[in-house]
Amino acid sequence: MSTEDPGTEQPTDEAPATGSHEFSQEDRKAHEAGAKDSLLRADNVVAGYVPGVNILNGCDLYVNDGELVGIIGPNGAGKSTLLKAIFGLIKVSSGSITLRGENITGFKANRLVAQGVGFVPQTNNVFPSLTIEENLQMGVYQSPKKFKQSFEFVTGLFPALGDRRAQRAGSLSGGERQMVAMGRALMMEPSVLLLDEPSAGLSPALQDEVFVRTRQINRAGVSVIMVEQNARRCLQICDRGYVLDQGRNAYTASGKDLAKDPKVIELYLGTLAKA
């Protein structure tokens, strides 16, 4: 198991983040250029939970093969809503979501899982009455023959899950449950993993563990899109980051550049960036 600290990367001299509360034509062109050969992309997504009341008001996002992309922003900005829209859990009113060039807008979750999209919700993300092994089996219910190979891969990343495979998930700590939830989502060998605030409610030590494990998953070949309230830590490990505000893209740049951009610090990070 890797014990490297994701927060030890050194700053670069790259240009500061650019953006505004409403993407300009230049931002749109940059998105189009960057997303051209991307693994997954969202274009001008408008969505919400109640008809006529939109939480997302034209969001753009893309992730390339092998990337770890972070999404940060204030409460109510639409971060988790964007993940749910991608994963088919809420209706997209307009805009599109594509996976390797195929339009997957509105696809149901089971179809998306079969096509290589995994999702770990923030809460209620394990079956507490089932054992760790049974939770992982649920991850391959569509392809049970994959279990042995996938179990070896997941327990290679999370050895404790293999050692404690017979333990019921309901008896685990919050951090341990998060590992089970991540492991189950990885059982179908996704090409992209969506993580909704994986460190929420955990102690600082367990939060660090989650971020280290997320980077491990990414380095094992899985692209990751992660929504996080712990903005500073998220920006330390992600390759690129998006700041959402009021359902729109506010800023986007590399994680390092967003973490040191004066406007992003003032508006969204505050003292977290100096901690």
| Encoded amino acid at 122, one letter | Q
Q: Calculate mean pLDDT across residues 136-164.
A: 95
Q: Would the pLDDT of 13 be above 90?
A: no
Which residues in 64-103 are b (16+ Cβ under 10 Å) and which e?
Answer: beebbbbbbbbeebbbbbbbbbbbbbbebeebebbbeeee
Q: Would the pLDDT of 74 be above 80?
A: yes
**pLDDT, tens digit, for every residue of 115-149?**
999 999 998 899 999 999 999 999 999 999 999 99
Q: What DSSP letter does each residue of 179-248 carry, written as one string?
A: HHHHHHHHTT--SEEEEE-TTTT--HHHHHHHHHHHHHHHHTT-EEEEE-S-HHHHHHH-SEEEEEETTE
Q: Calculate mean pLDDT across residues 154-183.
A: 95
Which of 79, 27, 59, 253 is CA-nearest to residue 262?
A: 253
- At residue 54, the pLDDT reads 96
- At residue 5, the pLDDT reads 41
- At residue 9, the pLDDT reads 38
- At residue 272, the pLDDT reads 43
**pLDDT, tens digit, for every residue of 208-225?**
999 999 999 999 999 999
Q: Would the pLDDT of 17 be above 70?
A: no
Residues above pLDDT 90, as percent of the chain: 81
- At residue 10, the pLDDT reads 38
Report pTM. Answer: 0.88
> Comparing 15-24, 164-173, 187-196, 230-239, which segment has the lowest mean pLDDT?
15-24
In terms of C-beta density within 10 A (0-12 exposed, 13-18 middle, 19 or more buried), how is residue 115 classed? middle
Q: Calculate mean pLDDT across residues 104-113.
A: 96
- At residue 64, the pLDDT reads 97
Q: Calculate mean pLDDT across residues 236-248.
A: 96
Q: Calculate mean pLDDT across residues 95-117.
A: 96
- At residue 23, the pLDDT reads 60
More confident site: 87 or 201 = 87
Distances (CA, A) of 34 to 24, 51, 234, 240: 15, 32, 21, 11
Half-sphere CA count of 63, side-chain side, radius 13 A: 27
Q: Would the pLDDT of 73 be above 50?
A: yes
Quote the mean pLDDT of the chain.
89
Domains of the chain, CATH where assigned: 18-274 (3.40.50.300)
- Would you place residue 93 in the very low, low, confident or very high pLDDT band (cuts 50, 70, 90)? very high
**pLDDT, tens digit, for every residue of 18-35?**
443 456 678 888 899 999
Q: Calculate mean pLDDT across residues 253-275.
A: 81
Distances (CA, A) of 31 to 42, 135, 180, 239, 253: 10, 38, 34, 15, 11
In terms of C-beta density within 10 A (0-12 exposed, 13-18 middle, 19 or more buried), how is residue 187 classed? buried
Q: Is the dihedral of CA 49, 107, 82, 250 positive or negative?
A: negative
